[in-house]
Amino acid sequence: MKQLLTLLTIFFFFGCQAQKIDKFNLGFENQTNIENLSDGWFMWGNYDLTIDSLSYSGQKAGKITSDATGSSFGSIAYRIPSKYKGKSIQLDGWMKTKDVQNGHAGLLLRIDGENGSLEFNNMKNQQITGTKDWKKYSITLNYPEEAQTIFVAGILTGKGEVWFDDFTLSIDGKDIQTLQETEIKLTKAQLDKEFDNGSHIEIPALTPQLITNLELLGKVWGFLKYHHPAIAKGDYNWDYELFRFLPEYLEVMDTKKRDTALIHWIDQFGAIKKCSNCKPVDNNAFLKPDLDWIDPLSTTLKSKLSSIYQNRNQEKHHYIEMAPGVGNPIFKNESAYKNISYPDEGFRLLSLYRYWNMIQYYFPYKHLTDKDWNLVLEEYIPIFINAKNELTYELAALKIIGEIKDTHANLWRGGNKINEWKGEYYPPLKVRFLENQLVITAFYTLELQGKTELEIGDVITKINGKSIQQLIKEKSDYYPASNQPTRLRNLSSDLLRSTSDKIDIQFLDKNATLKSETLQLYSKELLFMSYESKSNNTELKKNDDLCYKMLDQNIGYLTLASIQNEDFSKIKEEFSETKGIIIDIRNYPSAFAPFRLGSFFVDSPTPFVKFTKGNIGNPGEFTFTEKLEIPSGKKYYNGKLIVIVNEISQSQAEYTAMAFRAGDNTTIIGSTTAGADGNVSRIPLPGGLQTMISGIGVYYPDGKETQRVGIVPDVVVQPTIEGIRAGKDELLEKAIDLILNE
Q: What is the rounded distance in angstroms from the CA atom of residue 524 to the CA atom of residue 529?
A: 7
- Please report whether residue 455 resides in a domain: yes
pLDDT at residue 146 in the model: 83
CATH of the domain at 499: 2.30.42.10
pLDDT at residue 25 in the model: 95
Same domain for 564 and 519? no
- How many angstroms separate the most distant Cα atoms in the chain? 101
- Please report whether residue 473 resides in a domain: yes
Q: What is the rounded distance in angstroms from the CA atom of residue 393 to the CA atom of residue 405?
A: 20
| ∠ Cα 437 441 442 (to 5°) | 150
- Please report whether residue 189 resides in a domain: no
Read off the pLDDT of residues 351-368 as tens digits, 9 standing for 90 and up. Answer: 999 999 999 999 999 999
Domain end marker among 178, 212, 228: 178
- Please report whether residue 5 resides in a domain: no
pLDDT at residue 535 in the model: 37
CATH of the domain at 661: 3.90.226.10
Q: How many CB atoms lie within 10 A of CB 298?
A: 15
Closest CA to 119 of 152, 73, 155: 152
Domain end marker among 162, 178, 194: 178
Same domain for 373 and 473? no
Same domain for 59 and 139? yes
Please give the DSSP secondary-structure letter assigned to residue 371.
Answer: S
- Please report whether residue 4 resides in a domain: no
Same domain for 138 and 211? no
Same domain for 618 and 706? yes
Q: Identify the bridge partners of residue 160 per DSSP, sorted by sequence position.
A: 66
Same domain for 378 and 492? no
- Please report whether residue 451 resides in a domain: yes
Same domain for 292 and 394? yes
Same domain for 472 and 499? yes
CATH of the domain at 117: 2.60.120.260
Long-range contacts of 461-464 (CB under 8 A, 24+ apart): 461/437, 461/506, 461/507, 461/508, 461/514, 462/505, 462/506, 463/495, 463/496, 463/503, 463/504, 463/505, 464/498, 464/503, 464/504, 464/505
In this prediction, what percent of the chain has a pLDDT beyond 90?
Answer: 82
Same domain for 145 and 248? no
Read off the pLDDT of residues 666-677 as tens digits, 9 standing for 90 and up. Answer: 999 999 999 999
Domain end marker among 485, 503, 534: 534
Same domain for 173 and 208? no
CA dihedral 655, 661, 663, 668 (to 10 degrees): 130
Domain count, the chain: 4
Read off the pLDDT of residues 319-341 as tens digits, 9 standing for 90 and up. Answer: 999 998 899 999 999 999 998 99
For residue 6, pLDDT over 90 is answered with no
Average pLDDT over residues 399-415: 96
Q: In the structure, what pLDDT confidence band is assigned to residue 524 with cuts at 50, 70 and 90? A: confident
Which helix (H) or strand (E) segment holds residue 216: the answer is helix 208-227
Read off the pLDDT of residues 198-256 as tens digits, 9 standing for 90 and up. Answer: 999 999 999 999 999 999 999 999 999 999 999 999 999 999 999 999 999 999 989 99
Q: Which residues contact 238 (CB under 8 A, 6 or more apart)?
A: 189, 221, 224, 225, 231, 319
Same domain for 278 and 327? yes
User: Which residue segment(s) compose the domain that 131 sits in?
Assistant: 41-178
Same domain for 139 and 267? no
Q: In the structure, what pLDDT confidence band is assigned to residue 21 with cuts at 50, 70 and 90? A: low
Closest CA to 402 of 439, 363, 370: 370
Read off the pLDDT of residues 133-163 as tens digits, 9 standing for 90 and up. Answer: 999 999 999 898 888 899 999 999 888 999 9
For residue 64, pLDDT over 80 is answered with yes
- Please report whether residue 635 resides in a domain: yes
pLDDT at residue 562 in the model: 85
- Please report whether residue 542 resides in a domain: no
Q: In the structure, what pLDDT confidence band is assigned to residue 536 with cuts at 50, 70 and 90? A: very low
